Amino acid sequence: MDLFSSIDTEPVRRQMETLAEEIDRLNHEYYMNDRSLISDQEFDAMLRQLQDLERQYPELASPLSPTKRVGGEVNKTFRQVEHRFPMLSLGNTYSIEEIEEFEARTRKLLDGEEFSYTCELKYDGVAIGLTYRHGRLVQAVTRGNGAVGDDITLNAKTIPTIPLRLRGDYPDDFEARGEVVYPFDAFEAMNRQREADGLEPFANPRNAASGSLKLQDSAECAKRKLMFCMYFMMAPDGIALPGTHYGRLQWASQMGFKVQPYIKECKNIDEIKAFIDHWDRARWDLPFGTDGIVIKVNQTALWDRLGLTAKSPRWAIAYKFKAERVSTPLLSIDYQVGRTGKVTPVANLSPVHLGGTVVRRATLVNADFIQNFDICQGDSLFIEKGGEIIPKVVGVDLDRRAPGAAPIAYADRCPECGTPLVRIEGEAAHYCPNSDHCHPQLIGRLEHFVGRKAMDIETLGPERLELLYKAGLVRDVADIYTLRREQLIGLGTDATLQDKSADNLLAAIEASKDIPFERVLFALGIRYVGEVGAKKLARYFKDMDSLMAATEEELAQVEDVGTVTAHAVYEWFALPAHRAIVQRLREAGLQMAGQWEAGGTQLEGMTIVVSGTFEHFSRDEIKADIERHGGKVSSSVSTKTTYLLAGEKTGPEKLKKAERIGVPLLTESQYIEMTAVT
């Protein structure tokens, strides 16, 4: 290091620090106290000045600079990290009686002790944990399965209500927990923009918040205007925190966290009930979603005395608000055709506010649904939305029915291609049988084939597929492998496919030839054959030829493959056109066989304890799978355990023990990766 630069840069470093501090202060005033001290332009100018300096002197740029809030760094993958303190969930109920029982039980257990409760909102978003050391944010992790979550630090830094550096006095090492929520107005604005851009809107603010935290480009996340509501604070042994939950949150607020003011210390059940009552009505005036009230014992010293049940602490409970219901006129019905030809009726509704968002559409599921509810033309429908994702039609508002209203006549022709619809015996849905020429089916199959969980040709999005389809280059999935560079260049009105993107596309197509057989099978889009079904079929039959030669009875032998799926698979392969596609895919070099001869040896010498529930396996299946790969299954965590395979709702005792004796955790996806045939 030469003398000059160290002397030269000192004033710059100081200038950068001053700017950063000032921007931090203005941000704090703006987001925490709703106060704008300068104009937007002045603020932007300051931020740009700091950005310029950081570009000029990257070695002086702080990783916690407020410029990080704008994002820019890209998350390649989200590293999985173990939670230092497991993230437990709460017992919850819709019943006031159960809240009374909770209160009475707690009082009894604490036998004569003086104590109180805190009541606060249950924020409807995504739980994350933030680790702070020496007043600086070092890591942000999603809840995941409670034991292991995703490291989303880069994206968390873009959320203005997450302090990067703490103010005043703070514990040297602690974790702040809270919920990332999507405020309604920002959510609505973002969804409108998505629709204008031809993208699928998010179903609700919670989904949108969760999707935003998983965005690869943190600059995109920065645009999402998320908010963090802190609700919990914990620290390792030896670091003192205030003795009440209320006191902890107050302290957190002084450190610069956004702690919502809607929190109240309650002395007894009547005060708790009054709080619930108030918010059950007042919640609609909040700028963000809440789906209930969380009641916690305020004195933290009592938490240990009350302890934990299998899943959640005994010192807290959540009361969930009942779903809100409105009635709104049915304007018309769209019939959507999916890739399998399945037709779904969707109600276009007169827009109505429900649970903080505007509802315009809701599924009518199938013809039986319409018939069972006896929906008539011009009816008003009751729509409900619990804490749940999608607004649901739950009935007809008969008070608003016009006299003599005629029942809905279900579509009899495909709205896309005009082919008469068919209804297979025993099935609720109608289908368009014109699978070879009906546009949404063709495009849908192509989209499914290139999807992330199938052949993963990510550069081939819906728009490009449409382009290739219209140009006559891709009509079926096998055509994808015939594409040549010269056909691609300059395709599209604005020459969407330039040299480089054409090369990238061809490279992605080439890479997909290594995708394992089970995913190729899934990619074919055979009705009822999902990811897991494809895996089971692939493992059972081992290669395409044996699968194609199988009888319906043989197919139905496979675990989890019922007669309906067996029939669908058999029928699919019976069609010469489908066999021809498979043949062309084979010639293109796709994987047509897997290697599972003796299961595998990946887990040889390992002892694995299984806990919780899994997405792709039942508990027995995953145990059998471990053994098939040479591993041993054991029921209790000990020093002999190689891994604790932790699913959703893993037992807290097992987690604690594993942590204490240093047994590493394994998630389901890590497990699948570990046992995958490469």
Contact set for ligand IVH, span 302-331 (CB under 6 A): 313, 316, 318
> Strands, DSSP E only, in 364-515?
380-385, 392-396, 422-423, 430-431
Please tell me which residue in 68, 76, 122, 536 is annotated as part of the active site.
122
Q: Does 123 bind ligand IVH (CB under 6 A)?
A: yes
Closest CA to 131 of 89, 98, 94, 178: 178
Which residues are paired to 316 by β-bridges? 296
Q: What's the rounded Cα separation, in Å, for the pair 531 and 518?
A: 8
Whole-number Å distance between alpha carbons of 642 and 640: 6
Half-sphere exposure of 305 (CA within 13 A, CB side): 13
Position 550 contacts ligand IVH (CB under 6 A) = no
Binding mask 240-279 for ligand IVH (x = CB under 6 A): ----------------------------------------
Q: Which is nearer to ligand IVH, 263 or 491 (CB)?
A: 263
Q: Does 120 bind ligand IVH (CB under 6 A)?
A: yes
- For residues 217 and 59, give the distance between their C-alpha atoms in angstroms, rounded to a whole number: 23
122 part of the active site: yes
Q: Which stretch binds ligand IVH (CB under 6 A): 120-128, 195-203, 494-502, 539-547?
A: 120-128
Could you give the CA distance from residue 201 to residue 197 in angstroms, rounded to a whole number?
10
Q: Choose the binding region for ligand IVH from 42-50, 61-69, 122-130, 132-140 (rule: CB under 6 A).
A: 122-130
- Residue choice 18, 56, 89, 595 for contact with ligand IVH (CB under 6 A): 89
Residue with Cβ nearer ligand IVH (165 or 245): 245
Q: What are the distances in angstroms from CA 517 to CA 542, 573, 617, 621?
A: 9, 16, 19, 21
Q: In angstroms, give the least distance from the CB of 180 to ligand IVH.
A: 10
Q: How many residues bind ligand IVH (CB under 6 A)?
A: 16
Binding to ligand IVH in span 390-419, by CB under 6 A? none
Residue whose C-beta lies closest to ligand IVH: 127
Q: Does 231 bind ligand IVH (CB under 6 A)?
A: yes
**What 3-state class would DSSP assign to 420?**
strand
Q: Which stretch binds ligand IVH (CB under 6 A): 121-129, 355-363, 531-539, 612-620?
A: 121-129
Question: Which of these, 384, 372, 381, lies nearest to 333 by C-alpha position?
Answer: 381
CB of 232 to ligand IVH, least distance (A): 5
Residues numbered 137 to 156 that lie near ligand IVH (CB under 6 A) are: 143
- Is residue 570 a contact point for ligand IVH (CB under 6 A)? no
Q: Is 447 in the site for ligand IVH (CB under 6 A)?
A: no
DSSP string spanning 427-469?
Answer: -SSEE---TTT-HHHHHHHHHHHHSTTTT--TT--HHHHHHHH
Which residues touch 588 (CB under 8 Å, ≥6 apart)?
478, 481, 482, 513
Minimum CB distance to ligand IVH smaller for 260 or for 611: 260
Q: What is the dihedral of CA 185, 188, 192, 193, to 10 degrees?
A: 60
Q: Are 441 and 340 in contact (CB under 8 A)?
A: yes
As a 3-state breakdown, the chain gives helix, strand, coil percent values, each rounded to 5, of 40, 20, 40
**Which of the residues 277 through 296 are near ligand IVH (CB under 6 A)?**
294
User: Is the CB of 263 or the CB of 454 nearer to ligand IVH?
Assistant: 263
Burial class (CB in 10 A: 0-12, 13-18, 19+), 30: middle
C-alpha to C-alpha distance for 607 and 445, rounded to whole angstroms: 42
90 belongs to the binding site for ligand IVH (CB under 6 A): yes
Specify the residue, 159 or 318, whose C-beta has the smaller distance to ligand IVH: 318
Candidate ranges 45-53, 87-95, 441-449, 567-575; the one touching ligand IVH (CB under 6 A):
87-95
Where b means 16+ CB within 10 Å and e means fewer, 62-77 reads bebbbbbbebeeebee
In angstroms, what is the minimal distance from the CB of 386 to ligand IVH? 15
Stretch that binds ligand IVH, among 82-90, 355-363, 577-585, 586-594 (CB under 6 A): 82-90
Q: Of 123 and 522, which has the nearer Cβ to ligand IVH?
A: 123
Residues 6+ away with beta carbon under 8 Å from 483: 468, 473, 474, 505, 506, 509
Cα–Cα dist 376/361, whole Å: 17
Site string for ligand IVH, 175-214 (x = CB under 6 A): ----x-----------------------------------
* Separation between Cα atoms, residue 611 and residue 81, nearest integer Å: 18
Q: Which is nearer to ligand IVH, 320 or 623 (CB)?
A: 320
Residues tagged active-site: 122
Binding site for ligand IVH (CB under 6 A): 88-90, 120-123, 127, 143, 179, 231-232, 294, 313, 316, 318
